[in-house]
Amino acid sequence: MVAPVLETSHVFCCPNRVRGVLSWSSGPRGLLAFGTSCSVVLYDPLKRVVVTNLNGHTARVNCIQWICKQDGLHNKCIYWKLSLHKKAVHLQGHEGPIYAIHAVYQRRTSDGALHILIVSAASDSTVRLWSKKDSEGGDLFLASCSQDCLIRIWKLYVKSTSVESQDDDNIRLKENTFTIENESIKIAFAITLETVLAGHENWVNAVHWQPSFYKDGILQQPMRLLSASMDKTMILWAPDEESGVWLEQVRVGEVGGNTLGFYDCQFNEDGSMIIAHAFHGALHLWKQSAVNPREWTPEIVISGHFDGVQDLMWDPEGEFIISVGTDQTTRLFAPWNRKDQSQVTWHEIARPQIHGYDLKCLAMINRFQFVSGADEKVLRVFSAPRNFVENFCAITGQSLNHVLCNQDSDLPEGATVPALGLSNKAIFQGDIASQPSDKEELLTSTGFEYHPVAFQPSVLTEPPTEDHLLQNTLWPEVQKLYGHGYEIFCVACNNSKTLLASACKVGTFTIFKIFYLYPQNIFLYFVSGVHVFLSDPVFSLFAFTNKITSVHSRIIWSCDWSPDNKYFFTGSRDKKVVAWGECDYSDDCIEHNIGPCSSVLDVGGAVTAVSVCPVLNSSQRYVVAVGLECGKICLYTWKKTDQVPEINDWTHCLETSQSQSHTLAIKKLCWKNCSGNTEQNEAEGAEWLHFASCGEDHTVKIHRVNRHAL
């Protein structure tokens, strides 16, 4: 088998914020399927990696069910076949978005043939049944949940046709009966209420039976039910062995934090692991202890943004990624290096910023310092606390002394957010020591005081869980940068890390501000494109294009400089990519001989992201990654020729497959700095190049490409 030249090595995402979008396979592979934006993700909880993406929907995926189907907002179901990862059957019939589905196995009583029965409900106020041959079944137990905080278990069975005595004095449960007629065959069914379960204190959003399994050739169905509620808890229910009364066996959930409970819950194939889908998209995974069956411990699981990802950056050493999104969070992803395993998996290890505005952009100032911009008028600068640096080294396997040698000695331990505030306040060692104990707080508290969630330093050797990410991984905010009168749109930092440039939106105008950055984190000067507030330095317009010299006919959405700073590349909505630089022109309309240095590359779709690799290929050509509005990524190489006009200077190398591509517009592409001396770089050598991508489909991906294929 030929080794692939372009691989998607890591994916970061989370389920959509709707009920029913999560389903855990009861097969031997135990894959977890969930919908993120318009895509379906197959995730392996044991290996902690994404197996593949199934891209076929054109709108948000609302519900998924193994083994039969899933759907989206475009009024159709899609039945997926796992072995091929291809769409097999479209189940069309609903006239509105589909919001709930399930499937059971049944055997025909007439001929014993196996078939799959699928039921779907939609906003068109209809419930439709779909059948497919090849399955089995019997009496059915149906669990339902509601906003009345209760769970009801119903029994559905075929009613006997034999004549029963109507004078029987035995107490019977009330039966609801109905008859189905198909092909002149009438079948009578009965439904009875088995039990009512009360234990949750808020809406119950989901219930899930433990999957059936075969034991000694006989199909077994454990009577265990899992429920998820908006009260931030999951409860595992089971009937008592002696009395048969349904009782609460285990209760797990979240404590504290700014969360709103659970949307969904699932068992794994043998019932030893349970997972919950939270309101903000996060997954919570618990595993049953082998020693004490009533003890469940949190486990590591995939995480990511629950809304569009707007920007991302590699750190200067190429060891982690920071991303921002319209879910108002900044997230940091890094590799988890384990001594006993050769496979390296990437995880979210910090959430430096949880904001009140949609985040739009960020720029790395140095290895552990970044600036972010949101739908507000202020830029905010964040620096990593000591506790993060220590845990980062422990998780990634780096030397703490080597990392701390370039950091200040008075680093804060962590950060917390004050009441009604948006700024992360630094917490130092003295602040932690002065916090009252739980007993002292109980004796002195009046019961009406607000106590913010205090930062608690912790030593981690593995990626943190969602509870820890929410409360203990914030970075202190060290500076605010004022000057803009409208919402921040983009920000960038120069290569020497001494200048910041940012832009905001003012109707059809854009205001640019330039900042000087000093090691003391003090910003001394800023210059406007209209007014110079300080006399030195003075910035002036160097070159520009007009209606005559312009190559693009639509908005330019992205640009990037070549690694040698000789050229810069632009991508536009007009589907064109152009390289610009200093060229020999006799046209007087071109300022300083700055103009297009390449032929116009038509990539076939609107260009939303452009990024130039920091190293050249073996033929000394620039490697350019182009992201399209449709979600596809194309790789090209370019080299200036001596021909006038330029001909055959662009070469198409690779493009992402359907499963590797994003499902919505790509917002940012960023190549990894190849100069970092990380263990991963040493292991892979110079054979592979890495770049990251993010998009409106809520997803961050890390790709690697074989340099010899370029």
Identify which of 310, 439, 278, 321 has the alpha carbon closest to the alpha carbon of residue 11: 321
Determine if the peptide bond prior to 537 is cis (ω within 30°).
yes
Asked if pLDDT for residue 443 goes beyond 90, the answer is no
Task: Compute, in degrees rounded to 10, the torsion defined by CA atoms 131, 132, 136, 138.
Answer: 0
pLDDT given at position 110 = 60
Would you say residue 82 has pLDDT above 50? no
pLDDT at position 508: 33
**Which of 576, 570, 575, 595 lies closest to 585 in space, CA to CA?**
595
Least confident interval from 53-67, 196-210, 601-615? 53-67
Residue 604 has phi, psi (to 5 degrees) of: 90, 0
Q: 514: cis peptide before it, omega within 30°? A: no
Q: Can you list the domains of the chain with their CATH numbers? A: 6-68+139-161+173-299 (no CATH), 309-433+451-525 (no CATH), 556-709 (2.130.10.10)
Three-state DSSP state, 118:
strand
Question: Other C-beta atoms within 10 Å of 334: how many?
Answer: 21
433 versus 463: the higher-pLDDT residue is: 463
pLDDT at 15 over 70: yes
Q: Which of 36-50, 54-68, 663-677 has the highest average model confidence (pLDDT)?
A: 36-50
Does the pLDDT value for residue 505 go beyond 90?
no
Contacts of 125 (CB under 8 A, 6+ apart): 96
Least confident piece of the model among 183-192, 208-217, 512-521: 512-521
Q: Model confidence over 340-391: pLDDT tens digits?
A: 788 899 999 999 999 989 999 999 998 999 999 999 989 999 999 999 999 9
Which range has the worst mean pLDDT, 97-111, 168-182, 228-242, 258-272? 97-111
> Model-level pTM?
0.83
Mean pLDDT within 398-402: 84
Confidence bin at 662 (pLDDT 50/70/90): very high
The whole-number pLDDT of residue 379 equals 92
Between CA 331 and CA 149 the distance in angstroms is 34
User: Does the pLDDT value for residue 465 go beyond 60?
Assistant: yes
Is a pLDDT exceeding 80 seen at residue 448?
no
Q: What is the pLDDT of residue 174?
A: 81
Average pLDDT estimate for 591-604:
85
pLDDT score of 257: 61
pLDDT category of residue 314 using cuts at 50, 70 and 90 = very high
Q: What's the mean pLDDT in 699-706?
A: 95
Give the residue, 156 or 172, on which the prediction is more confident. Answer: 156
Q: Is the torsion defined by CA of 18, 20, 26, 27 positive or negative?
A: negative
pLDDT of 457 > 80? The answer is: yes
Q: Looking at the predicted structure, is the pLDDT value of residue 529 above 50?
A: no
**Average model confidence (pLDDT) for the chain?**
81
Sole residue written with tokens 């025909």 = 108
Least confident segment among 32-46, 173-187, 562-576: 173-187
What's the longest Cα–Cα distance across the chain?
108
Average pLDDT score over residue span 600-623: 94
Please check the confidence at residue 520 and state whether its pLDDT lies above 90.
no
Has residue 422 got a pLDDT over 80? no
pLDDT of amino acid 518 = 40
Question: If you write DSSP's letter for every residue of 514-569 in order, what string do you get?
Answer: EEEE-TTS-EEEEEESS-BSSSSS---------TTT---SS-EEEEEE-TTSSEEE
Q: Tell whether the model's pLDDT for residue 645 goes beyond 80.
A: no
pLDDT, average across residues 136-145: 74
Helix (H) or strand (E) holding 468: helix 466-472
What percent of the chain is modeled with pLDDT above 70? 79
pLDDT tens by residue, 630-643: 999 999 999 988 77
CB contact set of 191 (below 8 Å; sequence gap of 6+): 154, 155, 156, 175, 176, 177
Amino acid identity of residue 708, one-letter, is H
d(CA 612, CA 625): 6
DSSP-assigned states of every residue in 39-76: EEEEEETTTTEEEEEEE--SS-EEEEETTTEEEETTSE
CA angle 700/382/403 to nearest 5° reads: 85
Residue 649 has pLDDT above 70, yes or no: yes
Check residue 100 and give its pLDDT.
73
Could you give the C-alpha distances from 217 to 207, 269, 271, 423, in angstroms and in order? 28, 17, 19, 61
Classify each residue of 200-239 as buried b or exposed e, where b means 16 or more C-beta atoms within 10 Å of its C-beta: beebbbbbbbbbeeeeeeeeeeeebbbbbbbbbbbbbbeb
pLDDT band at 71 (very low <50, low <70, confident <90, very high): very low
* Predicted confidence (pLDDT) per residue in 219-254, tens digit: 778 899 999 999 999 999 999 988 889 999 999 987
Over residues 469-491, the pLDDT tens digits come to 988 899 999 999 888 888 888 89
- 417 pLDDT tier (thresholds 50, 70, 90): confident
Measure CA 268 to chain center: 21
- Read off the pLDDT of each residue in 198-206 and give the average, rounded to a whole number: 93
